[in-house]
Chains A and B, each alone.
Chain A
Amino acid sequence: MSEDIQAGLAEILEEVAGVAPADATPEKSFTEDLDVDSLSMVEIATEVENKFGVAIPDDELANIKTVGDAITYITNNRG
């Protein structure tokens, strides 16, 4: 389950920000390690909603720092 989400998120990261899928591991920080900036985060939130049906409002997005945070958020909010 969480592997599916990690793989799906890795696809989104590659598409939006050119991150190599192998680098999209839970401990990685989007901004520090993967060079994903705040506007790319907004686009990632959009793609997460399209792919997983999980909306991430702006205030929640601000708390998502690592790939692991995103996986947890999606897991907890998936219907």
Chain B
Amino acid sequence: MTAIQLKTGAPGARILGFGDYRPRRRVTNDELSQVMDTNDEWIQSRVGIAERRWASDDETLVEMATAAGGKALAASGLAPDEVDMVVLATASLEYPIPGIGPQVAHRLGIPRPGAFDLNAGCAGFCYSLEMASNAVRAGTARNVLVVGAERLSDVTDQTDRATAVIFADGAGAVVVGASDEPGIGPVAWGSDGDQYSAIEMVAGNGGKMIMAGQAVYRWATTKLTAALEEAMAAAGVGPEDIDVFAPHQANLRIIESMHKRLGFPERTVVARDIVTTGNTSAASIPLALSALLESGQAKSGDLALVLGYGAGLTFAGQVLRLP
């Protein structure tokens, strides 16, 4: 019997570079107050958002994903033909056939990679990062482009104050490659499928999203602390080692509540990109980390703790070394 041969992978994987794309149009709370019964004070105190970005017609998912992916490629210093795999995390394709991973790869000049979309709601980026890290370690790919891209304004009823004040558009990306020292820790992930209807697109709502806000809030502030602790324990680090805490930018109150429960040291920088970006689902973590790296609040070599969570319900967290 002939044995099946396997490839040899890398000892570890790490993020080589970040890229982002923020849509041009800023939508303030006052602008929303003109079309629905809401106000700046309520939105700021309950959700922590001052303004968000909504994509214009020409800022399609493919355009935004390509722009963020191109920046990440440039930051990684790699040529397109050194990338063997593209994972496109999104939950906001109005028409899911075809998936857009192959098209984004093609637009970036990446020749014939393994390319696909991944839908794990707002946890999509962290799920994709795990796929990328495993592929590099298994020898499936030398380098992987991971993009989180969303146009949630397309799948949100823009007059429904329960969701329109929260969800937004944008794209963030990373390139993952081989490294001797692991730069992406083991994932702490899971799902709570009994709560599938907590965040849901329903035919009865014109195909737009509905959300059981309080149920999601309760789940996020109670169940997810364990996942954050598990991600740190699996990577062999503790709260005192974390330089940057960048959870999914769902609601500032959830971010602050998690922050309080975990007991980080004073120096830990907390991502609060939601204030000016809104909740961009699978794009929020790479957008938040890009902004912190760009402003100098986060530095190369920092240890970051990330956690994506959302529709499914799904969650996934990791400890990362920033490039």
Q: How many A-B residue pairs have CB under 8 A?
A: 20
Given A39-B217, A46-B222, 9 additional A-B pairs, CB 8 A: A37-B45, A37-B46, A39-B46, A42-B217, A42-B218, A43-B221, A43-B257, A46-B221, A58-B214
B46 A42 Cβ-Cβ under 8 A? no
B299 interfacial by beta-carbon distance below 8 Å: no
In the complex the two chains form, is B46's CB within 8 Å of A45's CB?
A: no
**B-contact 0/1 string along A32-73, CB 8 Å cutoff:** 000001110011011000000000001000000000000000
Contact mask for chain B residues 240-253; partner A; CB cutoff 8 A; 1 contact, 0 none: 00000000000001
- A39: chain B residues at CB < 8 Å are 46, 214, 217, 253
Contact between chains at B218 and A46 (CB < 8 Å):
yes
- Does B35 reach chain A (CB closer than 8 Å)? no
Could you say which interface size class chain B belongs to? 10 to 19
Nearest residue, chain B, Cβ from A15 = B260
Residues on the B chain within 8 Å of A38, using CB: 214
Q: List 20 A-B contacts (CB under 8 A).
A: A37-B45, A37-B46, A38-B214, A39-B46, A39-B214, A39-B217, A39-B253, A42-B214, A42-B217, A42-B218, A42-B221, A43-B221, A43-B257, A45-B218, A46-B218, A46-B221, A46-B222, A58-B214, A58-B215, A58-B218
Question: When chains A and B are docked, how far (Å) is the Cα of A38 from the Cα of B214?
Answer: 8
Closest to B45 in A: A37
CA distance A58 to B198 in the complex (A): 13
B230 CB to nearest chain A CB (Å): 19
Task: State in angstroms the CA–CA spacing of A45 and B222 once bound together.
Answer: 10
Instruction: Provide the B44-65 mask, 1 if CB < 8 A to any CB of A, else 0.
Output: 0110000000000000000000
For residue B217, which residue of chain A has the nearest CB?
A42
**Which B residues are CB-close (under 8 A) to A58?**
214-215, 218
Complex Cα distance, B220 from A39, in Å, reads: 12
**Please, which residue of chain A has its CB at the minimum distance from the CB of B42?**
A37
Residues of chain B within 8 A of A37, CB atoms compared: 45-46
User: With a CB–CB cut-off of 8 A, which chain A residues contact B45?
Assistant: 37
**Taking the nearest CB of chain A, how far is it from the CB of B221, in angstroms?**
6
